[in-house]
Structure 1
């Protein structure tokens, strides 16, 4: 008998049970194992409420950066509504549109290096990684990629072959072609030097360690840029998570003296409201790949008018000095507050790693990660994840509009969670519990 959806589902438990019964069971079970039986109802700014309206969370996951500007940012929402009210829709892929040109020009204007003056607009970062990989294969006439083992670049197409994580990677699951090698140690220049052989078309890396949120060492990224140039390898920076203001500059790449051949942005470029991503690149790469074949890249929806309008508004907001200053100020404040909690619970925590508003609370041992995730969720904070590699850490990725008052709420929730999992060091300062 064919099952049909029950439109009367009203509670988080009912929806989770329906997923387990007839949909993406493993995802629902994974959330339940983390103690996060939660279906989003109302959402606004940094906050989420469950469909019952009873449990409020500060979103410190933000969809990995999709909601970097918070949920339903009023200016992005207004831009989307205006685009629809103006009579726009997704248009036709074969008909040029002015909004695409405007977004391309804006990306070139804001690029971290003048050479990144061309771009292709796609619907998501996975597609952008997929496209960048194909471009690298064409330009170099090679067919092998190099990536960091524990990075994350996507789950379909060529993006999947450069996501080698034993936990999240799907290369073996789908019997994908082995067109990638993996750097095992983030920041290891000697290993990188050994792996960047004449077979490699491109090296793709995030400017921070996906598992720890630690910024890439300056010497490492600068060596990567130099070695790639010397060996005819394209250097691709994936700023899907680290870009658009996350580190206190529009691009994390701005913290380094490097010149990537391509840069990928996405997730947050959508404003959390309409899909948008982009690959920024050098003009010679663009001409070789896009203009030497009549149908070099076709996407029915990529680069449509509405997505370009939304993305342009996001760029305006993400590049605003006021927002970037907030990231620096509140990022440092939150790091300090979390550090205070860590000092109270030395049997649970080590130290806080931060790169703007990407933070990881170090754990003394892996076994406390999941219990802390569950308890801080119960206390009102949805964390990004628990690190899957050593050193273990509880990762936080809050929206960039976070305030100091909301940072206090996060620190207080961590203190509450820690008290339920371990014992604090006695102190005269109980301010975190107030």
Structure 2
């Protein structure tokens, strides 16, 4: 490069939205401007983001769960610097790397049951794609089951297992043989499995869209039913795994021993795309059953040194710095304190979650004064009320959050697992203030004005 990266970024500072509108997804630019999220961030550390004016923001989105360790964790940075300066051989392909073997060993050491093989890839969606192929080849069956409202990724095979139509519209025909069953419904699951023609049941132990938590008997019994009918039980832990829920795996809350565990997101500390499938020996042996089949499934950039080193460093941080234990302790306290707000506010119907995977569900009020305002928003756009929480939470309290799914009034927090008790207090105090304001009829008008104002600014900038 003729200029250093620092020089280039300094010279072009503030052009983020202009460049994206011109060369990338312009609709995303319009969305961010409309809801007032058009900040220019210049620095990130731990659970915090900093804008060009050095204002500090608490990041409860953490890159959709990628930054479980917070941003720019020094241990992972150091590992990546070693790779960059170490002149290591990489992606030789006609070779097997030591780093990938070490990371596989570390992952399997914290997996439940008798999982003893790992397949590496580049993302969560790619892990899902691989698991679909492995399940079909191992069982010699074609059908794949998933749950309604599930999210497993956006590549074509993974998309075929998604339970939300908004992601599928216009992209069909999708992968044949995929069917949905209601989440947390054992009778429906057994009915779908009874024909003994289902290769695998893919399930998020806790659903990401909405943070839906099953009853305590659902997942253990689902695993038993899969075994009964010869179906592989595949736990999609891409978002909920690696400490997110206060256990290494969300399935650990119910003592699950899946046939395959899918992981990604937090695995590299947020630095390098990486995914993995941990599986039982018989699955690996079935797919790669002869020397001439050693390359029947793979990925060019999987097992690259940067990804493997980041993964190894991230796993060490999770274990050695007791990050999972912090997620359990602070997360449990945060959920309890948010739940304590429910009696104060009729719009706050439920607070649920485990560890640092938290949802606040809002619902129709009983009082006449609020009913009209609620109805106005729901008529305009189902799920719009959530923006009366997320927008002021960001604008007035500098807390970045998200709506938990399309068309639902659920606000979702996915904090870095390293947030402190002080951060917890920041969140609770901000939510108390924001929800209190939501109970004022003027809040609906304020939201409308807010959206209209930002939309006009966005249009003026086009």
Q: 1:156-213: CA deviations, max 9, x gaps?
A: 132121123123x236424323331112x32111111122243321110111022232
Judging by fraction of residues, say which structure has more helix.
2
Q: Aligned ranges for residues 2-17 of structure 1 at < 5 Å?
A: 9-11=12-14, 14-17=15-18
Shift of the 158–94 alpha-carbon distance from structure 1 to 2, 3 Å rule, reads farther
Shift of the 28–221 alpha-carbon distance from structure 1 to 2, 3 Å rule, reads same
How far 1:400 moved relative to its partner? 0.3
Shift of the 201–30 alpha-carbon distance from structure 1 to 2, 3 Å rule, reads farther
User: Does structure 1 retain, via aligned residues, the 8 Å contact 2:157–2:174?
Assistant: no
User: Does structure 1 retain, via aligned residues, the 8 Å contact 2:136–2:142?
Assistant: yes
User: Does structure 1 retain, via aligned residues, the 8 Å contact 2:390–2:402?
Assistant: no
User: Does structure 2 retain, via aligned residues, the 8 Å contact 1:65–1:240?
Assistant: no
Take 1:408 and 1:56, find their aligned partners in 2: how far apart are those partners? 16
How far 1:37 moved relative to its partner? 1.7
Q: Which has the larger radius of gyration?
A: 2
1:417 aligns with 2:422: no
User: Does structure 2 retain, via aligned residues, the 8 Å contact 1:34–1:373?
Assistant: no
Take 1:348 and 1:31, find their aligned partners in 2: how far apart are those partners? 26
User: Does structure 2 retain, via aligned residues, the 8 Å contact 1:212–1:353?
Assistant: no
Instruction: Choose which of 350, 356, 374 in structure 1 pairs with 2:391.
Output: 374
Take 1:239 and 1:333, find their aligned partners in 2: how far apart are those partners? 23
Q: What's the secondary structure of 2:217's corresponding residue?
A: helix
- Which segments of 5 or more consecutive residues in structure 2 lack a partner in the other structure? 1-7, 365-382, 442-462
Give the equivalent residue in structure 2 for 1:427.
Answer: none
Q: What's the secondary structure of 2:418's corresponding residue?
A: coil
How far 1:302 moved relative to its partner? 0.1
Take 1:63 and 1:290, find their aligned partners in 2: how far apart are those partners? 35
How far 1:7 moved relative to its partner? 9.7
RMSD (CA atoms): 2.3
Q: What's the secondary structure of 1:117's corresponding residue?
A: strand
**TM-score, normalised by the number of residues in structure 2:** 0.83
User: Segments of 4+ in structure 1 off by > 4 A?
Assistant: 5-9
Give the equivalent residue in structure 1 for 2:184.
Answer: 187
User: Does structure 2 retain, via aligned residues, the 8 Å contact 1:93–1:301?
Assistant: no
**Matched residue count:** 412
Give the equivalent residue in structure 2 for 1:430.
Answer: none
1:300 aligns with 2:318: no
Take 1:6 and 1:97, find their aligned partners in 2: how far apart are those partners? 35
Q: Aligned ranges for residues 54-93 of structure 1 at < 5 Å?
A: 54-88=54-88, 90-93=90-93
Give the equivalent residue in structure 1 for 2:162.
Answer: 163
Take 1:34 and 1:90, find their aligned partners in 2: how far apart are those partners? 43
Q: 1:101-147: CA deviations, max 9, x gaps?
A: 1112222221122x111011111111111100011111112222111
Q: What's the secondary structure of 1:313's corresponding residue?
A: helix
Give the equivalent residue in structure 1 for 2:350.
Answer: 351
Give the equivalent residue in structure 1 for 2:252.
Answer: 254
User: Does structure 1 retain, via aligned residues, the 8 Å contact 2:49–2:57?
Assistant: yes
Q: What's the secondary structure of 1:362's corresponding residue?
A: strand
Q: Aligned ranges for residues 125-144 of structure 1 at < 5 Å?
A: 125-144=124-143
Q: 1:256-313: CA deviations, max 9, x gaps?
A: 2332110011110011112221100000100111343132223221012221121111
Q: Aligned ranges for residues 32-431 of structure 1 at < 5 Å?
A: 32-50=33-51, 52-88=52-88, 90-113=90-113, 115-167=114-166, 169-170=167-168, 172-183=170-181, 185-196=182-193, 197-292=195-290, 293-320=293-320, 322-344=322-344, 346-365=345-364, 366-378=383-395, 379-388=397-406, 392-423=409-440
- Which segments of 5 or more consecutive residues in structure 1 lack a partner in the other structure? 425-434
Take 1:258 and 1:280, find their aligned partners in 2: how far apart are those partners? 14
How far 1:364 moved relative to its partner? 1.9
- Further displaced range: 376-385 or 229-238: 376-385
Take 1:88 and 1:301, find their aligned partners in 2: how far apart are those partners? 15
How far 1:54 moved relative to its partner? 4.7
Shift of the 238–172 alpha-carbon distance from structure 1 to 2, 3 Å rule, reads same
Q: What's the secondary structure of 1:329's corresponding residue?
A: helix
Take 1:80 and 1:245, find their aligned partners in 2: how far apart are those partners? 22
Take 1:129 and 1:93, find their aligned partners in 2: how far apart are those partners? 23
